[in-house]
Structure 1
């Protein structure tokens, strides 16, 4: 990956950007995100992360899952027209960016491997992806929420029972200005334990 941005700069300047252009993202750049994610730390070298890259009409897989979940969870007794509107509105979420990468954890079944560590490793892979996106001029946002944990979403990506979807990463070229971030001082969140 070639970039003149330092790691520290990428960490400090990266922001979640949900508004992106509809311009296609080059496959080479998507592969850079995946390669960065693949180098995340993981206990026991299990590499539990799995990536489902959706572009073009491939995003319909996600759209159908969003729509089915919304229809299933509709309150009251909606009319057919109301259900259709709900399905369209929720399904449209899959098309908010030209690339959506679903990230799943496929935990190892080895007896010495902890499931929580496998999930943590997969979250680290997502963070590597987000930092790399920023460093190469892309906008990205890590989306989750209740629909992501619904069984229908697992079905959409043909995940096994023990596998877990951990992120929907929306990627594109930014359609908005970056705003500077704010954090409370790290000193307020740190306890030094010394002898």
Structure 2
């Protein structure tokens, strides 16, 4: 039973791209679109119905708060270990201000130890793919970045995550100022073995 136009589904998936903040126009995305993107994220597959994805949405003045927090935390931790880089600090302080919205991507670890952590991380990745596809359908540029403070334990509490949880990065969003990027992939035949 076919309920959807498979041609449109195929086209949507093949048009998904990472669109970076330096490619954004500065136009602000309507919050209802952001809500729809997050609602579709919530329909990702999840083992044991744990629904481990946790998101914090930053917009307006919230982007400045995120920029100040991440650049400040980077400076504090990198100076402590002797790896401070001024250009990285400046990038962390300015890059969020290029986006319309940024959503932190968190994984809330469930209490059921029978569910491996990797399955919870994978569920969050599926939620982010739903976000990517929904954003693409709206013409919203986005990308999932995992640099900066992503893997610092000290960052977790700012995003309402506990010690057992994981911060997995940031989903930047904005309206592209140029045409939608073209994509490329090597043939699927190079990556699949069929056994009949």
TM-score between both structures, scaled by the size of structure 1: 0.86
Q: Is the 8 A contact 1:36 1:132 kept in 2?
A: yes
Determine the C-alpha separation between the residues in 2 that align with 1:180 and 1:14: 9
Match of 2:32 among 20, 28, 35: 28
Distance 2:96 2:14 in 1: 28
Distance change >3 Å, CA 69–CA 89, structure 1 → 2:
same
- 1:189 and 1:48 mapped to 2: Cα distance? 30
CA contact (8 A) 2:140 2:175 kept: yes
Segment drifting more, 36-45 vs 59-68: 59-68
Contact 2:99–2:174 under 8 Å retained in 1: yes
User: For each residue in 1:36-64, what CA deviation from the matched residue of structure 2 results, as whole angstroms up to 9, or x when unmatched?
Assistant: 10000011111111110000011233212
Residues matched between the structures, number: 186
Q: Which whole-Å CA distance do the structure 2 matches of 1:9 and 1:149 have between them?
A: 34
**Alignment check: 8 A CA contact 2:19 2:181 kept:** no
Q: Structure 1: any 5+ residue segments left out of the alignment?
A: none
**CA displacement, residues 94-146 of structure 1 (integer Å, 9 cap, x when unaligned):** 21201001110102111322211011000100010011000111111111125
Give the match for residue 103 of structure 1. 105
Aligned-pair Cα RMSD in Å = 2.2
Query: Which of residues 8, 31, 34 is equivalent to 1:6?
Result: 8
Which has the larger displacement, 87-96 or 103-112? 87-96
Q: Which residue of 2 aligns with 1:152?
A: 154
In the other structure, the counterpart of 2:63 is: 59
